[in-house]
Amino acid sequence: MRRILLRGGVVLNPQTHLHEPLDVLVEGERIVALGNALSPVDAQVLEVSGCYVVPGLVDMHVHLRDPGFPDKETMATGTRAAAAGGLTTVVCMPNTRPTVDDVSILDGVLATARRDGVVRVHSTAALTKGLAGVERTDMANLLQHGAVAFTDDGKSVMDPVVLYDIFQTAAQLDTLIASHCEDHHLVRGGAMHRGEVSQLLQDEGIPALGEELVIARDLLFAADTGARLHIQHVSTARGVQLIREAKARGVRVTAEATPHHFSLTDAILLDQGALAKVNPPLRPAEDVVAVVAGLQDGTLDVIATDHAPHTLAEKQQGLSRAPFGFVGLETSVGLAFTHLVHTGKLSADQVVARMSVAPARVLGLPIPQIAVGEVADITVIDPEFIWTVDPNRFLSKAQHSPFTGTKLRGKAVATVVGGRVVYTEKEGLLT
């Protein structure tokens, strides 16, 4: 039986508040021992001195572009990028071609993941057929076939009658609605946040109110129906506050922040242009501060990347024509440790919890733990690893990033999935 010994690291297990120097022994798919100076026979040894050994990281918001967009990303390239970023589990969005709005398509996505993926892959399904916002999908059937949540990510359902039916159905099924919040009546154009930078670049801009109106609406629908709601990629101060107040009232809501929304402001578009074009857009400094505060007090439960690969040719079309989004799987740990841990805004334990335990709990997935008997999904993080973002080294097909040339402190240096080492910083991809 395969044995792996992770030797010399500090184990962080947020579920039990464990933070202690311990060796970790894995046999087969499971953790079989935690202790000091473990020395099993015939074990593959990973020397992890100076590193945190943490529960496998879970990204609940990833675009793998499979099926339909192999020039942007595939199941193989996207999951390899995930492994390089320390992710052991990813959850893909349904805005593929065709849309994941039918069980046959969902079954196909999951079959491709089993065949080509090097980390665990779960899939969401669409709220409405073709993401058109007109007709609800067969949520009960999709749920039975493995959908872990429902979202029209990239779009909001604007018809309140259709949306209320969706919330009622989700409440009956006790399944999760993940909401991309954007009022398409109010947001009709623009490539960036509406403010000083958009004026300088002569762009009509995207108003913060376009996000906040839909957050408020969906919170009301969740309160009225009792459905579970998850707000995706929160980017504004008022959005954070709306969620904070709803939680205080007992609304069943969770929410996520992306690394780019807690580490960049819209000013970067003056330098990076369309490479930093994303939806919701990067906001001014006061919104970044509010997003961090939301992570600090638990208003924002989860850190998720919204990994959204595009070809370089697409991103070079200029601000007005380039698509929204950029990659995030291979930079998320570095950005979180650089901007949250090393600044003292969150502890390493808090960041790990928001990147592993919290997303699994929100989705109802098994909660990853470093504990005897648990499945060995493990991420090793070197908090002092200093590196410079070089997209040419990405395993994602989209080898460009607004973080190019940025020096980061902290990196995932090994990834173990089901007791198998799939990536190390020294050796690269191992599967």
User: Which tens digit of pLDDT belongs to each residue from 297-326?
Assistant: 999 999 999 999 999 999 999 999 999 999
Secondary structure of residue 351 in the 3-state scheme: helix
Kindly indicate the confidence band of residue 41, based on its pLDDT and cuts at 50, 70 and 90. confident
CATH 3.20.20.140 spans which residues of the chain?
56-363
Apex 137 CA angle, 95 and 247, nearest 5: 80
Apex 69 CA angle, 66 and 71, nearest 5: 120
- Residue 84, pLDDT above cutoff 90: yes
> HSE-up of 339 (CA within 13 Å, CB side)?
24
Under DSSP, the state recorded for 282 is P
- Residue 431, pLDDT above cutoff 90: no
At the second CATH level, the architecture of 56-363 is: Alpha-Beta Barrel (3.20)
**How much is the pTM?**
0.98
Pick from 35, 45, 65: which is nearest to 2 by CA? 45
How much of the chain, in percent, has pLDDT values that exceed 90?
97
Report the Cα 419 to chain-centroid distance in Å: 23
pLDDT attached to residue 281: 98
Kindly indicate the confidence band of residue 430, based on its pLDDT and cuts at 50, 70 and 90. confident
User: What is the edge-to-edge ordering of all strands in the sheet holding 302-303?
Assistant: 176-179, 228-231, 253-257, 302-303
Long-range contacts of 32-39 (CB under 8 A, 24+ apart): 32/372, 32/373, 33/372, 34/370, 34/371, 34/372, 38/5, 38/7
Report, as an integer, the average pLDDT of 211-233: 98
Single-letter amino acid, residue 223: A
CATH 2.30.40.10 spans which residues of the chain?
3-52+374-384+405-429
pLDDT attached to residue 339: 98
Residue 306: C-alpha distances to residues 64, 327, 365, 377 (Å): 10, 8, 19, 22
Q: Please indicate whether residue 306 is annotated as part of the active site.
A: yes
Q: If you average pLDDT over every residue of the chain, what do you get?
A: 97
Dihedral Cα 244, 257, 413, 331, nearest 10 deg = -160
Contact, 92 vs 60, CB < 8 A? Answer: no
| Catalytic, out of 102, 218, 266, 306 | 306
Q: Which is it for strands 378-388 and 302-303: parallel, antiparallel or unpaired?
A: unpaired
CB neighbours (10 Å) of residue 249? Answer: 9
pLDDT attached to residue 75: 98
Nearest-10 crossing angle of helices 285-297, 237-248: 20
Q: Please indicate whether residue 2 or residue 290 has the higher confidence score (pLDDT).
A: 290
Q: Look at the domain 3-52+374-384+405-429 and name its fold.
A: Urease, subunit C; domain 1 (2.30.40)
How much of the chain, in percent, has pLDDT values that exceed 70?
100
pLDDT attached to residue 372: 98
